[in-house]
Amino acid sequence: MSTRPSPRRKTEASLDLARPAPRKRASRAAGAASPAIAASAANAAALADAPDSAVAPNAAQPANDGSAAPAATPRRRVSGIDQRIYEAVLNAVMTHRLPPGTKLTEASFCDLYKVSRTIVRKALLRLAHDHIVELRPNRGAVIASPTPQEKRDVFHARRIVEAAVVPLAIRNASRSQIAKLRQMVRDERAALDRGDRGRWIRLGAEFHLALAEVAGNQVLTNFLSELSSRCSLIIALYDSPTSVPCAHDEHEHLIDAIAAGDIERATAMMEEHLQAIEDRLLPERRGEAIDLAQILGDG
């Protein structure tokens, strides 16, 4: 005599069928990605969450069997070294020592700074975020190479943003902020007189960002910060190392117009100032032999 399933068992069976199937492991779904790319992505995710004060990668770890691991040879902490790498590369780009297209190998940075590839990748990710470096699959990192069209687009966007900054800066500028801008121009002149081109270029860019801060619109400031980084790279590609990318006397006259509250004159001066920088840029230069150890070895 056959037994019929109880209504309760039918209900439980229906519920089991309605439940979604367990998800497959993420590693199977990502099977199309190469192991190298997957490892790089995992390292990048770990780096984003890791504190800068993390100890060196070969620090002692507990043994799996619960016994104490042997003491590791003390190594210096790596806190801030990724920042040093970032600043060294950025400074070398801005001073024309690392032209666009230069390949940056992780091994070179590891040898120069005595750190793991993890720390180097953290610095390269930041440089890529700021459009200074391009990360290319299976080819590593290279200094970005903006095209002539990108040059025109970036400067066009910058003129639009800074044209919006000037009226806001005139409306909001205090005497102390005007004084700070004038001091920045004096610092520019001092760097020029010392022949410190790298600092001179940085101070010129910082002047424009300081003016955006005076304007008081954080969105415009963020836009200008990114455009300023990209302009610095474009200048490194197209500008002559002996030219003046951002003349401090033009900054002085601009401050005078802002202090006088003359929106029309100050806006026109900013437009002319940025156009003059773009007009001074030269055709693309390539072909230099690059020695990273020689350029960044003092970092």
Q: How confident is the model over 39-51, as pLDDT tens digits? A: 333 443 343 334 4
Inter-residue contact 264 to 77 (CB < 8 Å): no
Query: What pLDDT is recorded for position 240?
Result: 67
Inter-residue contact 117 to 108 (CB < 8 Å): no
Query: What pLDDT is recorded for position 42?
Result: 40
Compute CA distances 136 → 89, 143, 144, whole Å. Answer: 18, 11, 10
Query: What pLDDT is recorded for position 193?
Result: 87
Query: What pLDDT is recorded for position 38?
Result: 37
Task: Answer left, alpha or beta for residue 295, where phi above 0 means left and psi between -120 and 50 means alpha.
Answer: alpha
Query: What pLDDT is recorded for position 244?
Result: 59
Inter-residue contact 278 to 159 (CB < 8 Å): no
Q: Please list the alpha-helical segments (H only) found in 19-98.
A: 26-29, 35-49, 81-94
Helix or strand (DSSP H, E) at 207: helix 197-215
Helix or strand (DSSP H, E) at 134: strand 133-136
Q: What is the pLDDT along the chain (299 residues), one digit of tens a residue?
A: 445 555 544 444 443 434 444 444 443 433 333 333 333 334 433 433 344 333 333 444 444 444 444 444 334 444 589 999 998 998 888 777 888 888 999 999 999 999 999 999 999 999 998 888 999 887 789 999 888 899 899 999 999 999 999 999 999 999 999 999 999 999 999 988 888 877 887 888 899 999 999 999 999 999 998 898 888 778 777 776 666 556 668 999 999 999 999 999 999 999 999 998 888 886 655 445 556 666 666 54
CA distance 149 to 152: 5
Helix or strand (DSSP H, E) at 136: strand 133-136
Inter-residue contact 90 to 50 (CB < 8 Å): no
Bridge partners (DSSP) listed for residue 133:
143
Residue 42's nearest CA partner among 117, 141, 113, 95 is 117
- pTM of structure: 0.61
CA distance 156 to 16: 61
Query: What pLDDT is recorded for position 75?
Result: 40
Query: What pLDDT is recorded for position 243?
Result: 63
Determine the number of helices (DSSP H) and then strands (DSSP E) in the chain.
13, 3
At what angle are helices 148-172 and 197-215 packed, to 10 degrees? Answer: 50
Token pair 């004084």 is found at 179
Query: What are the structural domains of the chain?
Result: 81-145 (1.10.10.10), 148-279 (1.20.120.530)
Residue 133's nearest CA partner among 236, 246, 285, 243 is 236
